[in-house]
Amino acid sequence: MTSIRVLVGTKKGAFVLRSNANRAKWEVDGPFFAGWEVYHMKGSPEDPDRIYASQSSGWFGQIVQRSDDGGKTWFQPGFNPDSHRDSEPTTNPEGMPLTESNKFAYDIIGKPLTTHQWYDGTQHPWEFKRVWHMEPSITNADIVYAGVEDAAIFKSTDGGISWQELSGLRGHRTGSLWMPGAGGMAVHTIIEDQNNPQRIFIAISAAGVFRTDDGGKTWKPINKGLSSQYIPDPNAEVGHCVHRIAMHPSRPEVLFMQKHWDVMRSDDAGESWHEISGNLPSDFGFVVDIHAHEPNTVYVIPIKSDSEHFPPEGKLRVYRSRKGGNEWEALTKGLPQKDCYVNILRDAMCVDTLDPCGIYFGTTGGQVYASSDGGDSWNAIVQNLPSVCSVEVQAIP
């Protein structure tokens, strides 16, 4: 019987929630990496028991964790969990560590770009801070991409043991113009096109969306049609604060976007965008996702902004469009409809592949809500976790 595993990254550790296909009763494992920020964790489509997690701390920096048993046990890739024992060497004959799974070194040879724009308009050195997003390859469990702050994409081909930057992104001629938003400057979304292994989409706050058609060697900004109040140039190539993009695997040319303001859609793989905010109570938000079996059914969670960042009117509402945008219906059954002032961060919504489709999202108040009927009704499957950074789900056959 199919089982469901929900991977929850929080400000103070990671949790794994387990249920069966009914999705009615849930068991909570964790916290893993207690006390550390877990921005994101995600399982490999090719080997669901292989899960990658980004563990970070303002004190101790970045750690990459991996599980090969579905989240029961974890280790830093390349390190035997008992490698401190004298019988197990930890260095090569030259005395260097065998692995560097937490080393994200910007490429200074291939694309020696070393500065980007700072808040005051001056140039600022590129500095690695943390991994925001882990994206395991669709076809190979040992291949995984990492979206990092300051904005860059790294690739590992050895299961996270070592990382190499795909420096064509950061080295794009616009790189020196990219500028952090209030939340930093990070690659937070990575989407592979399963119909075209050479094509990857990424999104950066606050630079915009980029696409590669050659496996990551070169990238082009695809932000035509985006309009941002704070950018005077209506045709600005970069500088847009894109919060999230989503693609249905059956329709790779159609992308949906939640921008800082505006919900947007592209029907030509990002070459152009048009607004589909329609009747939403706020067109600001962070998450956007698509029904697993209905590529024209889209979900967003409107948030009040510019500075409040909680649901309008204190009512937590998921909005669903069955028409690919513009016409939205509020989904409220089971969600708090008064005094709710949480936020839902950009990596904190996902869908499972069961039928009916399950929808999940986590809040900064520590709740994870789930719907097992495509969004018609909701339940809090866990209530009092630390502030939720990310939610991913796996359906295990």
Residues that bind other proteins (CB under 8 A): 35-36, 57-63, 76, 79, 81-84, 90-91, 95-100, 102-105
Task: Please say which residue, 17 or 63, places its beta carbon nearer to other proteins.
Answer: 63
Report the nearest approach of other proteins to the CB of residue 108 (Å).
9
Q: Which two tokens stand for residue 221?
A: 């900004």
Name the minimum Å distance from CB 300 to other proteins.
Answer: 34
Q: How far is the CB of 105 from other proteins (least distance, A)?
A: 6
Whole-angstrom distance, CA of residue 383 vs CA of residue 392: 17
Nearer to other proteins, 88 or 308 (CB): 88
Beta carbon nearer to other proteins, 62 or 367: 62
> Closer to other proteins at the Cβ: 81 or 121?
81
Q: Which is nearer to other proteins, 102 or 156 (CB)?
A: 102
For other proteins, which is the closer residue by CB, 160 or 374?
Answer: 160
Q: How far is the CB of 295 from other proteins (least distance, A)?
A: 42
Least gap, CB of 71 to other proteins (angstroms):
18
Burial class (CB in 10 A: 0-12, 13-18, 19+), 171: buried
Task: Judge contact between 338 and 314, C-beta under 8 A.
Answer: yes
CB of 119 to other proteins, least distance (A): 20
